[in-house]
Chains A and B, each alone.
Chain A
Amino acid sequence: MSSTGTSTGTTLALKYYDSNGNLQNLPVPIPTYAASRPPFPIRFLKGIPVFWDDFESGPAGFVMPERALASQTTNTGPTTISAGRWNFRDGNEYGVYITANAASSGRRSLFTGGNPTTQTYGDIGNQDVSCTLSLPSGILGVEFDLLMQAGSDPGGHLFTVEDKDPTDSTKYRELGFQINPFSANGAGFAFCSLAGPPTVLSNSISDSNGAILTGLTGPFKGAGTSLSRGTTGSWHRVGMVVDMNLGKYIAIFLDKFYLSTPTLTTRLSPNTSLWKISSPDSTVNSLKEGLKRCEFHSLTNGTSFAPLMYHDNIVITDETGTTYT
């Protein structure tokens, strides 16, 4: 079947040729938002995609820093400060880049890790990379592919959603999900104001369907002289939905594991006002306009080595009105 499209005011009328060669109208108009989908499958999230990246566009290579010298924010001096979608704050540009070393689909992915301790910008030992987007509803879902190449426990991966604390202009707040893959069974933590941070998924703490973690697969499992089946191509799909207005976890996903809102409310009772609130290290001048910042970290195990992590097919959604029970 071939198809053709014509614009009719605010709607799009699609036509096709039937088996007799006659031009027919498609019976159901295509919603306008149908054209705004990422070029890869969304596995967990139900909301409307507002941002995505599969890292196939533009030159690969190093990502620019989020800060710069004072002169670089004026109309003179070098343009080292990031003006792109992706930038970093912790670690350095030697530990974050877009690369063809790995890809869950297409050619490229976003790498974080390595040795961010020397020549660091801040938060010694950890490497991050982030993007900022407008999501005034405050109910945000994020989903991405994650490959954990190498590391040692308790190193891990952390992704967080951040915004401005509306009650204190000097602070920001965040909710996140941390995965420690390098222990025998692996573990997942709710990165929030609760002490710990609390474990929400492990070998002894099950998901909403009763499944427990028995270890996470990655190239790090392949050390030694014999080949290990399924390690090097082991991309995981990870997701999280949070309500940044209420400081509430709505859902967490890791491959087959699913943590629903009721489960998270039980584990993180009362599952409200859970933001981890922190003070920025410099003058507060960001995220005042309803912007949300999604940060992806490679967390050190306390040494100078940050685990090698690859991200791909990242999508961020507005989850207003969705439920995860």
Chain B
Amino acid sequence: MTGEIRDYQMFPVPFTTGPISNPITANGNTGNLNVEGWASIVAVINITAYSGFTSITFSIDEYDPTSNTYTSVGTTSALTSTGANRLVINPLLSQFVRLSWTVAGSGSVTAIVSGKFRAS
């Protein structure tokens, strides 16, 4: 390891006018984040308010430009309450990743997701 770490708020994105803001009421995702200089991610999903949903699952997906598809490289368990959850992707091999979430049922979740990116 060379030691570089970047601490970045993956969700909600500050000042966004797009769909990646709280509260979460449906399935969604961030955009493609270029991570080609980073070798691993520790994501901390801190759910501060939870109501209604049967569950919510967060995933780190890698993007394949050739097929224009996303493949999950790590998911949380089906979360059903408030609290902090850790999701580690190591090694991180692709050029682009995104954070996505899938809900079951109807309801509302407020969360903050940080990403700690570490260079190799």
Residues of A within 8 A of B (CB): 58-62, 64-65, 67-69, 72, 78-80, 92-94, 97-100, 111, 115, 118-122, 124
What are the residues of chain B within 8 A of A78 when measuring CB–CB? Answer: 7-9, 114
Chain B 1-36 interface 0/1 with A at a Cβ cutoff of 8 Å (1 = within): 000101111000111111110000000001111111
**Which residues of the partner chain A approach B117 to less than 8 Å between Cβ atoms?**
59, 61
In the assembled complex, 21 residue pairs joining A and B whose CB atoms fall closer than 8 Å, in A order, are A58-B4, A58-B37, A59-B6, A60-B36, A61-B33, A61-B35, A61-B37, A61-B38, A62-B8, A64-B8, A65-B14, A67-B15, A78-B8, A80-B7, A80-B14, A92-B18, A93-B13, A94-B32, A94-B34, A118-B18, A120-B17
Q: Which residues of B contact A93 (CB under 8 A)?
A: 13, 31, 33
The 5 closest A-B pairs by CB, nearest first: A59-B37, A119-B18, A94-B31, A60-B37, A97-B34
A118 touches B19 (CB 8 A): yes
| A38 CB, nearest partner CB in chain B, Å | 21
Q: How far is the CA of A64 from the CA of B37 in the complex (A)?
A: 14
How many Å from the CB of A305 to the closest CB on chain B? 14
Give residues in B with beta carbon < 8 Å to A. 4, 6-9, 13-20, 30-38, 95, 114, 117, 119
Q: How far is the CA of A58 from the CA of B4 in the complex (A)?
A: 9
CA distance A98 to B14 in the complex (A): 21
A277 to B30, CA, bound (A): 34
Contact B13 A119, beta carbon cutoff 8 Å:
yes
Min distance, Cβ A111 to any Cβ of chain B, angstroms: 8
Q: Which residues of B sit under 8 angstroms from A120, Cβ to Cβ? A: 16-18
Main secondary structure of the interface of B (DSSP, over half): loop
Given contacts A61-B117, A68-B14, A119-B20, contact A99 B34 (CB under 8 A): yes
Q: How far is the CB of A83 from chain B (nearest CB, A)?
A: 10
A92 CB contacts on chain B under 8 angstroms: 13, 16, 18, 31
Q: Which residues of A contact B17 (CB under 8 A)?
A: 119-121, 124
Q: In the assembled complex, how far is the CB of residue A53 from the closest CB belonging to chain B, in whole angstroms?
A: 15
B14 touches A115 (CB 8 A): no
With A58-B4, A118-B18 as known contacts, state yes or no: A80 contacts B33, CB within 8 Å: no
Distance A234 CA – B38 CA, assembled complex (angstroms): 29
Chain B residues, CB < 8 A from A69: 9, 14-15
Q: Would A62 and B34 be within 8 Å (CB), given that A72-B14, A78-B7 are in contact?
A: yes
| Complex interface: chain A residues within 8 A of B37 (CB) | 58-61, 98
Extra 11 A-B pairs, beta carbons < 8 Å, given A61-B36, A99-B36, A124-B17:
A61-B35, A65-B14, A65-B15, A69-B14, A92-B18, A93-B31, A94-B31, A99-B95, A118-B18, A118-B19, A122-B15
Residue of A nearest to B113 (CB): A78
Contacts of A99 in B (CB 8 A): 34, 36, 95
Least Cβ–Cβ distance between A72 and chain B, in angstroms: 7
Q: Which residues of A contact B8 (CB under 8 A)?
A: 62, 64, 78-80
Q: Are A62 and B30 in contact (CB under 8 A)?
A: no
Chain A residues closer than 8 Å to B9, beta-carbon distance: 69, 72, 78, 80
Residues of A within 8 A of B4 (CB): 58-59
A62 with B35: in contact, given A78-B7, A80-B8 (CB under 8 Å)? yes
A115 to B18, CA, bound (A): 12
The CA-CA distance from A61 to B4 in the complex, in Å, is: 13
In the assembled complex, the Cα of A93 lies from the Cα of B4 at a distance in Å of 19
Smallest CB gap from B32: residue in A:
A94
A118 and chain B: residue at smallest CB distance: B18
Residues of A near B33 (CB, < 8 A) are 61-62, 93-94
User: Smallest Cβ distance from B38 to chain A, in angstroms?
Assistant: 6
> Roughly how many angstroms separate A80 CA and B6 CA in the complex, as a whole number?
9
In the complex, what distance in Å separates the CA atom of A94 from the CA atom of B15?
A: 14
User: What separation, in Å, do the CA atoms of A111 and B16 have in the docked complex?
Assistant: 21
- Which residues of A sit under 8 angstroms from B18, Cβ to Cβ? 92, 118-120
A122 to B17, CA, bound (A): 8
Minimum CB–CB distance from B19 to chain A (whole Å) comes to 7
Least CB distance from A106 to B in Å reads 14
Interfacial chain B residues near A72, Cβ < 8 Å = 9, 14
